[in-house]
Amino acid sequence: VRLLDDHRAFDLDEVDAVSTRRVGPATVPPSILGVDQRSFVAAEWRDLLYGLLDGPHAVSPLEAQRSATKPAQLARAPRAGLTIPDTLITSDPLEAGGFIDEHGGRVVHKTMNGPRDRLLATLRWEERHRSDLARLPLVPTIFQELIEGPRDLRVTVIGTTCYAASIEGGTSAKHVDSRLDVDV
């Protein structure tokens, strides 16, 4: 199989591995105007992409992609011997409010994913967010007990091997999400 894009051509026989994260739909060129043609082109690219991800060179096949969701990870972590903070995933404003009150407001809240066009950071709970709880029925949200420490550990598990990175805290108490703290 040989593929060509705007920048290069490559032969899939020369590919040693394919690693993916958050697979999305294929982009159809705007020059293809017909609905049926757009659907056909998108389906062809989708089938090729999914075939590659399930193929013998896949580092992260589709099943692994599905298991990369936060609820699945939270369910697996204790079975792997990891301790997770007290966690609630809900779309119920009353349940969320009770969880926040139970933890004295020492909570973070975050999305399970995020829109493709921007990063929605994990945020510390602030009482000014209370009015936003009324919008929870629109989309489930993760609430977790706030765990503070001098570092953020990011761990990726592939098979039985763990790859860990320690992100040392910066001087900014503003960010609970180390990806946004330029002082780390």
C-alpha span between 84 and 45 (Å, rounded): 38
Count Cβ atoms below 10 Å from residue 162 Cβ, excluding itself.
11
Note the pLDDT tens digit of each residue in 46-102: 777 776 666 655 555 456 556 667 887 888 888 888 889 999 998 899 999 999 999
Q: Specify the residue for token string 């089938």.
A: 47
Q: Is the dihedral of CA 67, 68, 70, 74 positive or negative?
A: positive
What would the pLDDT profile of 19-52 be if each residue is shown by its tens digit? Answer: 666 667 777 878 888 888 888 788 777 777 776 6
| pTM (two decimals) | 0.64
CA 142 to centroid of chain Cα atoms:
12
Per-residue pLDDT tens over the stretch 98-138:
999 999 999 999 988 766 667 778 889 999 999 999 988 88
Mean pLDDT confidence for 154-176? 76
Exposure of 121 by Cβ count < 10 A (0-12 exposed, 13-18 middle, 19+ buried)? Answer: middle
Q: Give all strands (DSSP E) within 59-172, no chain letters.
A: 87-90, 107-110, 123-124, 141-145, 151-158, 161-168
Of 12, 99, 78, 9, which is closest to residue 48 (Cα–Cα)?
A: 12
Alpha helices by DSSP H, the chain: 35-53, 62-66, 70-79, 93-102
